[in-house]
Amino acid sequence: MGWEERLADCLGFQWDAGNADKIWDRHGVTPAECEELFFNRPLVVGVDEEHSSAEDRLYALGQSDSGRLMFVVFTIRRRLIRVISARDMSRKERRVYRS
């Protein structure tokens, strides 16, 4: 099953409180902004091969409802999206997202 099907099969989000706090403290990104990204288009998703040894990790380039361009690393566990990290897109990532 490809990532498109796996995402379409998801029922919601799973948050680790410590991880959500870390994302906010380091990058000023709220859980709500991360979740919005998955409902807005365009959404560019790829495999994070460098960090996928223990479980499949994916990354998404997308935007929040307010138009904030973000890079989100996540995994899918039992039909739930679990965000691992989130931050603003780099210049290079913005070019990829817009192409």
What is the pTM (predicted TM-score) of this model?
Answer: 0.90
Would you list the domain boundaries of the chain?
3-98
| Mean pLDDT (whole number) for 65-71 | 98
Tell me which H or E stretch contains 41.
Answer: none
Domain 3-98, second-level architecture: Roll (3.10)
| Mean pLDDT (whole number) for 32-55 | 86
CA-to-CA distance for 42 and 44, rounded, in angstroms? Answer: 7
Q: Give 10-25 pLDDT, tens digit per residue.
A: 999 999 889 999 999 9
Please tell me the predicted confidence (pLDDT) of residue 73. 96
Strand partners, 80: 12, 77
Strand partners, 25: none
Please tell me the predicted confidence (pLDDT) of residue 6. 87
Q: Is residue 51 over pLDDT 60?
A: no
